[in-house]
Amino acid sequence: MNQQNQQEKILDAAYTVIAREGYVRTSLRQIAQEAQVAVSQISYHFENKEGLLLAVARRVANKYYDYMQLYLKPEMSPIEKGECFIRLYQEVLEDDPSLFRVLYDLVGLALWSEPVRDQVREIFEGITTQITEGVFTEEMVGKLGSKYSPEALSSLFFSGIFGIGVQSLLEPGDKKIVRSLDALNVIFRVGKVELT
């Protein structure tokens, strides 16, 4: 088996085991067993468990960006792109919750590890940049009549998605939580909401 294939096999196994067990409960031995390689091969390719985790974080980011490429189309309006982000997260939460489990595990670990923090920060910046550039453009913010910057609205939007994702994983049987992501569409009516 060539080096690249073995590295991919180890990454696949690490992603699977971390999604199932959580990073703290995952050992290199479990990953090696899942990948059907010697533990020494993990050390050879990734140096240590944290190095492997950083590679898994890059894989999570790439998987997210692959989803975005499938869903977002350049010809969509900003509101259509916003609605598309919501649908994407709903479908991923329902069809591929392991992606979120690994991402949330990474976020928890980022509180204690500077390299993981840097990786998670990069992932989040990539997501919010996509939201800012695709959804909350200057023109869109102007149409909404919002006093908030595109970056602030993008951060709010992503935070809503992220928080609802946590709730969904904590209550996997409650499909209403995933559907509550639709409520984020209210942000597109910022300038139209009137209180009486």
- The answer to whether 178 and 88 are in contact (CB under 8 A) is no
Residues 15 and 34 in one domain: yes
93-110 pLDDT, tens digit each? 888 889 889 989 999 999
pLDDT of residue 72: 86
- The answer to whether 18 and 66 are in contact (CB under 8 A) is no
CATH of the domain at 99: 1.10.357.10
pLDDT of residue 190: 58
Put simply, whether the predicted model's pTM sits higher than 0.75 gets the answer: yes
Q: Which helix (H) or strand (E) holds 189?
A: none
Residues 2 and 72 in one domain: no
The model's confidence at residue 196, banded by pLDDT at 50, 70 and 90, is very low
Residues 173 and 139 in one domain: yes
- The answer to whether 37 and 57 are in contact (CB under 8 A) is no
Residues 112 and 71 in one domain: yes
CB atoms within 10 A of CB 42: 24
The model's confidence at residue 16, banded by pLDDT at 50, 70 and 90, is very high
Q: Which two tokens stand for residue 63?
A: 């998987």
**Number of domains composing the chain:** 2
pLDDT of residue 192: 52
Residue 19, pLDDT > 50, answer yes
Q: Is 196 inside a domain boundary?
A: no
Residues 4 and 70 in one domain: no
Residue 10, pLDDT > 80, answer yes
CA distances from 71 to 12, 120, 180, 195 (A): 24, 22, 20, 35
Q: List the one residue out of 131, 145, 151 whose CA is nearest residue 79.
A: 131
pLDDT of residue 157: 92
Give the domain range for residue 177.
54-191
Residues 110 and 174 in one domain: yes
Sign of the dihedral defined by the CA atoms of residues 51, 67, 81, 176, in that order: negative
121-176 pLDDT, tens digit each? 999 998 899 999 999 988 888 888 888 899 999 999 999 999 999 999 999 889 89
pLDDT of residue 187: 80
Q: Which two tokens stand for residue 114?
A: 């500077």
Distance CA 123, CA 146 (A): 26
Q: Which two tokens stand for residue 24?
A: 């703290």
